[in-house]
């Protein structure tokens, strides 16, 4: 996993993030927010199947994966299970408008669940928590 120290920034870190969502405007919004806050989006997938393939092929794994539930081809819970089977250390946060999926997502191994629409601060706090666990 990669975490980059910023020289002279008081120990601040930049998280690398993998975004998995089929809604382009959501991906663009996440990317803008994350990059404005110093994080780096290293890749994007628009469905669970693509997410599993891309994660498997990544040489450097992201600090955090932000996963949607409702996507074509393969849903977020199934993709989460497959990614965690490959890499039990992967940190996956769900961002979904479907509150009913929260228990299933957490049971599948997601570290957290953010109910859409969520506040930007909630997303940044989740990533910050993942950074702390990474150290």
The string of pLDDT tens digits covering residues 75-122 is: 999 999 999 999 999 999 998 888 889 999 999 999 989 888 877 888
Mean pLDDT along residues 14-38: 91
**pLDDT value for 16:** 92
Angle formed at CA 17 by CA 16 and CA 20, multiple of 5 degrees: 160
**pLDDT value for 126:** 83
Question: Which two tokens mark 71?
Answer: 């996507």
C-alpha span between 85 and 24 (Å, rounded): 27
Query: What domains, with CATH codes, occur in the chain?
Result: 3-7+15-134 (3.40.50.2300)
| Residue 107 DSSP class | H
Does residue 2 surpass a pLDDT of 70?
A: no
Give helix 24-36 / helix 120-134 axis angle, nearest 10°.
Answer: 60
């Amino acid at each position: 996993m990669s975490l980059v120290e910023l020289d002279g920034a008081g120990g601040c870190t930049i998280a690398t993030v993998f975004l998995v969502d089929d809604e382009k405007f959501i991906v663009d919004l996440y990317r803008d927010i994350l990059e404005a806050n110093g994080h780096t989006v290293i890749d994007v997938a628009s469905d669970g199947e693509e997410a599993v393939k891309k994660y498997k092929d990544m040489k450097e794994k992201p600090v955090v994966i932000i996963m949607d539930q409702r996507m074509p081809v393969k849903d977020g819970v199934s993709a989460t299970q497959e990614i965690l089977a490959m890499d039990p250390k992967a940190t996956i946060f769900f961002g979904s408008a479907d509150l009913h999926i929260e228990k299933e997502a957490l049971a599948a191994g997601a570290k957290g669940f953010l109910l859409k629409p969520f506040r930007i601060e909630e997303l940044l706090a989740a990533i910050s928590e993942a950074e702390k666990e990474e150290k």
